[in-house]
Structure 1
Amino acid sequence: MSDFDALQAVIRRHAGARQAEQRACEALLNALYHALRTASGPGLPLNNVTLDFIPDPGLRLRPPPPGGWHAAWVRLGLCEVLVRVRWEDGAFVGEYAQGGTFRLDETGEDALIALARRLLRDVAAAYAGEAPRPGTALN
């Protein structure tokens, strides 16, 4: 078997796991989008929030290998925020904006709302010229 054939075989062998990981990461990004829409509280939806899935700009291999990043632009009214997420050690790990990071060990509504509110505060701080806060686990 040539090196090329070995590469093709390993890509095919891990395709199912890679696709499941992609679906999970995209589902988390979609859930974050919905959390951002409701971050203002019950009955106060933010109507000017949109989500646009994109290939990760830092991607150096396609398709992404297991543990690779999945990305989306989230439009929040007048600005857009790049959010990247991947599955790592049983949790979702992510990055957003200019230095914002997070780790979600569970993805319940409360954890997603907390992340959405922190993302909104951090983006506002970035536009105000304040230093980003280091990321922490949300739960």
Structure 2
Amino acid sequence: MSEFDELQAAIRRHAHERQAEERACEAFINALYHALRAASGPGLPLNNVTLDFTTDPANRLRPVPTGGFHAAWLRLGLCEVLVRVRRVGGAFQGEYGEGGTFRLEQTGEDELFTLARQMLCDVADTYAGVGWERTRPLN
């Protein structure tokens, strides 16, 4: 078997695992989108939040290998924030904006609302010139 054939076989062997991981990451990003829309509290949806899945600009291979990042642009009114997420040891680990990071072991409603509010505050701080000095753990 040639090196090319070995590469094709490896890609095929791990296709199911990659696809399951991609679906999980996209479902997480979609849940985060809904949390952002509800971040103002019950009965006060943010209607100017949109979601646009995209190829992660840092990925250098397609299809994305297992453990790679999946990305989306979240439009938050007047700005857009790139969110990147991947699965690491059963948790969702990700990055957003100009230096925001998160790791969620649990992805319940409370954890997603906390992340959504943190993202809104961090992005507002970026535009206000406050920067990313403060780190808020989510776990």
Q: Percent identity?
A: 71
Q: One-letter code of the match for 2:95?
A: E
Match of 2:10 in 1: 10
Match of 2:131 in 1: 131
After TM superposition, give the deviation of residue 130 of structure 1 in Å: 1.1
Q: Distance in 1 between matches of 2:62 and 2:136?
A: 30
After TM superposition, give the deviation of residue 131 of structure 1 in Å: 1.7
Q: Distance in 1 between matches of 2:126 and 2:20?
A: 34
Do the aligned partners of 1:81 and 1:97 also contact (CA within 8 Å) in 2? Answer: yes
After TM superposition, give the deviation of residue 90 of structure 1 in Å: 1.4
In the TM superposition, what whole-angstrom CA distance separates every residue of 1:7-50 from its partner, at most 9, and x where no partner exists?
A: 00000000000000000000000000000000000000000000
Match of 1:45 in 2: 45
In the TM superposition, what whole-angstrom CA distance separates every residue of 1:28-77 from its partner, at most 9, and x where no partner exists?
A: 00000000000000000000000000010111000000000000000000
> Compared with structure 1, are the counterparts of its residues 115 and 59 closer, same or farther at alpha carbon in structure 2 (3 Å cutoff)?
same
Q: Distance in 2 between matches of 1:98 and 1:116?
A: 15
Q: TM-score, normalised by structure 2?
A: 0.97
Q: Distance in 1 between matches of 2:135 and 2:36?
A: 18
In the TM superposition, what whole-angstrom CA distance separates every residue of 1:98-134 from its partner, at most 9, and x where no partner exists?
A: 0000000010000000000000000000000112146
Q: Residue 25 in 1 paired to residue 25 in 2? A: yes
Match of 1:76 in 2: 76
Give the alignment's Cα RMSD to 1 decimal: 1.0
Q: TM-score, normalised by structure 1?
A: 0.97
Q: Distance in 1 between matches of 2:32 and 2:90?
A: 18
> Compared with structure 1, are the counterparts of its residues 137 and 17 closer, same or farther at alpha carbon in structure 2 (3 Å cutoff)?
farther
Q: One-letter code of the match for 2:100?
A: G
Equivalent pairs counted in the alignment come to: 139
